[in-house]
Structure 1
Amino acid sequence: MSFSALSLNSSLLAALPPTVNKPSRIQQLAIPTILLGQDVLALAQTGSGKTYAYGLPVLQRISQLSTSHLSAVIIVPTRELASQVSQNLAPLARSLNLRVEVLCGGEAIELQIERLAQPVNIVVATPGRLLALAQQGVIQFEHLQSLVLDEADRLLDMGFIADINALIALMPSGQRLLFSATLPESLVALAQKVQSASCVRIEAHALNSTVADIDQTIYHVNKGSKAKALTHLIALHQWSQVLVFVNAKDDADALCKKLIKAGINAAALHGDKEQALRSKTLEQFKMAQLTVLVATDVLARGIHVDALPVVINVDLPAQAAVYVHRIGRTARAGLSGVALSLVGHSELLSLEAIRELTGQALPLVELAGFVVTDKPTSENSKRAPRDKQANRRTANKRSISDFAKRKSTR
């Protein structure tokens, strides 16, 4: 099937990048339904083309209104995703004489208020900033035609449900589009609340599945050997670009320092970094000026890096669905990729949850040269309560003795 078979405006199609010449499965399924004005709950793998799946029909519907009012709002979980969605849609919007504006934290709200003085047709925003502008009366939703929740499951994971409910309460009834790669119960509840009973559910791929072209390997390593194992793998394979995920901000910085010390060109990216630095670092990585980017889950959703070959989980995520999104940074747009995970004993329950969610075996394998010597935690490995009490008594005696000695020397 070609895009021309989807009843899309010729100006829109001409504005698509040259590399986008055939609609993906989610685009084939979603575009006709959205053009009809129906509510959609769309489930598709990361990297499958969801932005164009909702962006193309939403832009076409707005162009048919002949209005300068705000007609569509796209809510996303992170600033980086807001920027990316805007960059993808802005050229298409210009082809129809429409204007897209980005509204998210990390930029002075005064600058955004100034830009909103000009007519805008589509807003791409993070929930908190959009709500703040709406509560100040800077943005009005009375002419809104379409609301899109992109990466809807992540919006809920990150605790934005209160902001989303507050925003929806300010909006008129209209088309509601929810796009996601996973379907947690919280998302089902949200869909039932905000979408019509005639909502169309679209599943482009098996629910919670990973892309078939990702070669996944799970290495069983000692917790204290992960940094050395990562350095070894990078040197062994001579990868040009590697996206590394950890769970904590401090761990991202610490791991980055170890990589730099080992002579690897690396940078860390997480929520504590200033927005300007986050944007600069991400751009350097996209331009292949960095070999390794160590990131927390601020990057797990929606960030597209062309032909990214490798994703490595130094820490498994606490939520199984996040694993699907992390490794989905590679093997995008029909390309193949590699996803490696370094797993210690304490993460075996997380691994089991990932296996259950994805329906994949994901066997543990040993990494050559890195023998696992850590022992799994068990009841038998713990000291008996009386031994702990004995230790406390010994510590108390030492404290009293030390205090007596200090007192006698005064």
Structure 2
Amino acid sequence: MTFSELKICDDILRALPKSISTPTLIQEQAIPAIFHQADVLALAQTGSGKTLAYGLPILQMLKASKSQIQCVIIAPTRELARQIHQDLLPITSALTIKAASLFGGVDLSIQTSQLALSPQIIIATPGRLLALIEAGSVDLSTVKHLVLDEADRLLDMGFWSDIQNIISNLPINRQTLCFSATLTGNIEAEIEKVLVSPVRLNAHTKNSVVSDINEKLYLVNKGSKTNVLLSLLDQQADKQALIFTNAKDTADSLAKKLKKAGISLSVLHGNKDQADREQALCDFKNKKINILIATDLLARGIHIDNLPSVINFELPENPAVYVHRIGRTARAGQTGVSISLVCHAEQEVLTAIRDLTKQAMPLVELSDFPVTDKPSTGETKRQPRDKQANRRSAKKRSIKDFQSKSKPVQSKKRNTK
């Protein structure tokens, strides 16, 4: 099938990057449904072309001559919002459609000036969009299309109340499109509440991993992870690697150790200001640096051309995040490798990931790094607490209450005679 057969107009076809010649499976499924004005709940793997799946038909339906907001795209992170804007920019430019990106870390006055240009489409994170609505800076009463990109993450990250507030400012008669790579039962049921008789699209097996990713999982001592990582990076010294940690402190600590070993890298997490975040991502995309350490800011929606490998320094506590993390490699038909360093304490998390993805995901030991840690027995090493003693202590109010109430030992008087 071709984009022409999907009724994409010539102006858009000419604006598409040369690397995009034929539609992906999710694009083949979604574009006709969106043209028919149906609500859509779409499940598609990372790197499968979801942005253009909804972007092409919506942009074709927008009226460039109207000075009103006709489409709102909501993303869970600044990085994804910026990525969507960049992906759609060649088409919006060709169609003379104005687009504004609204997210935190940027001065409100700059974004207010974008809105003053009367964009037809806005791409936003929930918090910043809601703040602009409450400030009276944006009017959504003319919106015809709402897109929730990475819809499950919007709910999982605690944005759902903001989404509901935003939706209350939209017309009832609108088209709502929800796209994601993973969906669990409870989240799917909640998302369905904002849809009307949606067309369900499944471009792959639910919560599956791209088949072109070579997954490797190594069982290692918790204290050996940094040394194992250094060994792995040494084996692929000329290749890029995106390394994920669960916490900002871990990312910073790991960065210090790798820099001490002579590795040039950048770190990206929520404590970095917007300029530093953009610079780190730009340097990595332009291959000025080979190593980028990140928290899950980058686990969703960020496209990095031909990224050869993703390394999980720690397994994510949320199983769905694993799918999104490793989906940064093997995008757009490429191949890639994901490596996860797993210690005994992460076995429960690994089991949850296996249950979600329905994959065996065997653990392999490295001959150069023998595993000496022992699996947890689940038993606590602490002595059981004396609950009655705790209750007695809680009732005491002064120092005297803590003094022994038993009779003092009488000392024998020495016979001095």
TM-score norm. by structure 2 comes to 0.90
Aligned counterpart, 1:394: none
Aligned counterpart, 1:310: 309
**1:260 aligned onto 2:259:** yes
Structure-to-structure mapping, 1:288-303, within 5 angstroms: 288-303=287-302
Structure-to-structure mapping, 1:340-351, within 5 angstroms: 340-351=339-350
Aligned counterpart, 1:395: none
* 4+ residue segments displaced more than 3 Å: 383-386
Aligned counterpart, 1:405: none
Alignment partner of 1:217: what SS? strand
- The Cα shift of 1:189 comes to 2.5
1:66-118 per-position Cα deviation (integer Å, ceiling 9, x unaligned): 42210000000111111110011122012112111100001000111122111
| 5+ long unaligned stretches in structure 2 | 386-417
- The Cα shift of 1:384 comes to 4.9
Aligned counterpart, 2:140: 141
Supply the distance in 1 between the matched residues of 2:376 and 2:141 (Cα, whole angstroms).
58
CA 1:33–1:240: 2 relative to 1, 3 Å: same
Supply the distance in 1 between the matched residues of 2:191 and 2:351 (Cα, whole angstroms).
28
Aligned counterpart, 1:33: 33
- The Cα shift of 1:290 comes to 1.0
Q: Indicate the RMSD between aligned Cα atoms, in angstroms.
A: 1.4
- The Cα shift of 1:126 comes to 0.2
Q: Tell me if the contact between 1:90 and 1:99 (Cα under 8 Å) persists in the aligned partners.
A: no
Structure-to-structure mapping, 1:209-228, within 5 angstroms: 209-228=208-227
Aligned counterpart, 2:406: none
- The Cα shift of 1:137 comes to 1.3
Alignment partner of 1:277: what SS? helix
Residues matched between the structures, number: 385
Aligned counterpart, 1:169: 168
Alignment partner of 2:4: what SS? helix
**1:119 aligned onto 2:115:** no
Alignment partner of 1:116: what SS? helix
Q: Tell me if the contact between 1:217 and 1:339 (Cα under 8 Å) persists in the aligned partners.
A: yes
Supply the distance in 2 between the matched residues of 1:289 and 1:118 (Cα, whole angstroms).
35
TM-score norm. by structure 1 comes to 0.92
Supply the distance in 1 between the matched residues of 2:371 and 2:101 (Cα, whole angstroms).
48
Q: Tell me if the contact between 1:40 and 1:199 (Cα under 8 Å) persists in the aligned partners.
A: yes
Supply the distance in 2 between the matched residues of 1:233 and 1:239 (Cα, whole angstroms).
12
Aligned counterpart, 1:9: 9
- The Cα shift of 1:237 comes to 2.8
Supply the distance in 1 between the matched residues of 2:238 and 2:341 (Cα, whole angstroms).
17
Aligned counterpart, 2:181: 181
Bigger shift: residues 109-118 or 200-209: 109-118
Supply the distance in 2 between the matched residues of 1:132 and 1:268 (Cα, whole angstroms).
29
Bigger shift: residues 48-57 or 131-140: 131-140
Q: Tell me if the contact between 2:69 and 2:143 (Cα under 8 Å) persists in the aligned partners.
A: yes
Alignment partner of 1:7: what SS? coil
Q: Tell me if the contact between 1:156 and 1:186 (Cα under 8 Å) persists in the aligned partners.
A: no
Bigger shift: residues 286-295 or 231-240: 231-240
- The Cα shift of 1:142 comes to 1.2
CA 1:239–1:343: 2 relative to 1, 3 Å: farther
Alignment partner of 2:5: what SS? helix
Supply the distance in 1 between the matched residues of 2:155 and 2:317 (Cα, whole angstroms).
15
CA 1:102–1:376: 2 relative to 1, 3 Å: same
**1:378 aligned onto 2:377:** yes
| 5+ long unaligned stretches in structure 1 | 387-410
- The Cα shift of 1:191 comes to 2.8
1:251-305 per-position Cα deviation (integer Å, ceiling 9, x unaligned): 0011011111111111111000001000000000001111110100011000110
Bigger shift: residues 277-286 or 257-266: 257-266
Supply the distance in 1 between the matched residues of 2:300 and 2:259 (Cα, whole angstroms).
26
Q: Tell me if the contact between 2:75 and 2:126 (Cα under 8 Å) persists in the aligned partners.
A: yes
Taking only the aligned residue pairs, the percentage that are identical comes to 53
1:350-372 per-position Cα deviation (integer Å, ceiling 9, x unaligned): 00011111111000100221111
| Aligned residue identity for 1:305 | I
Supply the distance in 1 between the matched residues of 2:33 and 2:359 (Cα, whole angstroms).
32
Q: Tell me if the contact between 1:245 and 1:297 (Cα under 8 Å) persists in the aligned partners.
A: yes
| Aligned residue identity for 1:285 | F
Q: Tell me if the contact between 1:245 and 1:312 (Cα under 8 Å) persists in the aligned partners.
A: yes
1:326-367 per-position Cα deviation (integer Å, ceiling 9, x unaligned): 000000000000000000011000000111111110001002
Aligned counterpart, 2:107: 108
**Greater fraction of residues in helix:** 1
Q: Tell me if the contact between 1:30 and 1:53 (Cα under 8 Å) persists in the aligned partners.
A: yes
CA 1:142–1:345: 2 relative to 1, 3 Å: same
Aligned counterpart, 2:391: none
Bigger shift: residues 44-53 or 376-385: 376-385
**1:62 aligned onto 2:62:** yes
| Aligned residue identity for 1:321 | A
Alignment partner of 2:48: what SS? coil
